[in-house]
Amino acid sequence: GSAIVTTNSFQTTTTTTTTRTGTSTRAGERLRVSEQTDTVNINIFTVDGQFKEMEIVKMDKRNDLCLLKFKCDCEKDCNWEELPIAKKRPKIGQKIYTISRPYGVYGPGSSLVFDGRYGGIADEIYDFQLLPAAPGSSGSPIINKRGEVIGITSMAMFPFHEVVLATNIIEIRSFLGLK
């Protein structure tokens, strides 16, 4: 699965369905995430091989969101920036982007950025996003042209690999305690 840094206290938001291994994306950094589900230890490995431990701050299974916190001194050890959270949904058809690691595809110096269109409201929790997705895309940020998070990939609607259900901005802002 994937994740994004969403607060300046070095916490990250992802989905509760994040796979055992995958990647995490933060503004310019490519990370590999592994979760030992039997002990609920969550570990992140940076591109340069650094090991970072994380802990679960809170989970919301209904909205498929999980807030994690780094156990390291990230202000000193890491050079990551948070992604801002949009205040409103985009218009239907607006161009959107996602950074993800489908099927765990990862390589040093690579950044898989996909584009698509906002598809509208699916229900009270999810919005439709018309973007490529596959296993490993869960937790990926969906951003607008201003670089603001407008959703977090929850699941692809197989067999349509380019129809994504993403937790909407209203639920993300509520989960993070933003107005």
Please report, in tens digits, the pLDDT of each residue of the chain (179 residues total). Answer: 566 555 544 455 565 544 333 333 333 333 334 444 444 566 665 555 566 777 778 888 888 888 877 776 666 666 667 788 999 999 999 999 998 877 777 666 667 889 999 999 999 999 999 998 888 788 888 999 999 999 999 888 877 778 999 999 999 999 888 88
Among residues 10, 7, 42, 35, the alpha carbon closest in space to that of 21 is found at 35
**pLDDT value at position 76?**
63
In the block, tokens 């489908």 appear at 102
Among residues 42, 100, 94, the alpha carbon closest in space to that of 71 is found at 42
**pLDDT value at position 126?**
93
Instruction: Give CA 72 to chain center in angstroms.
Output: 20
CB distance 153 to 25 below 8 Å: no
**pLDDT value at position 80?**
65
CB distance 54 to 40 below 8 Å: no
pTM tops 0.85, yes or no: no
As a whole number of angstroms, the distance between CA 101 and CA 69 comes to 21
CB distance 88 to 169 below 8 Å: yes
Question: C-alpha distances in angstroms, 138 versus 34, 52, 68, 99, 124?
Answer: 14, 20, 15, 11, 19
DSSP percent split of the chain into helix, strand, coil, nearest 5? 10, 50, 45
* DSSP output for 133-150: --TT-TT-EEE-TTS-EE
CB distance 113 to 30 below 8 Å: no
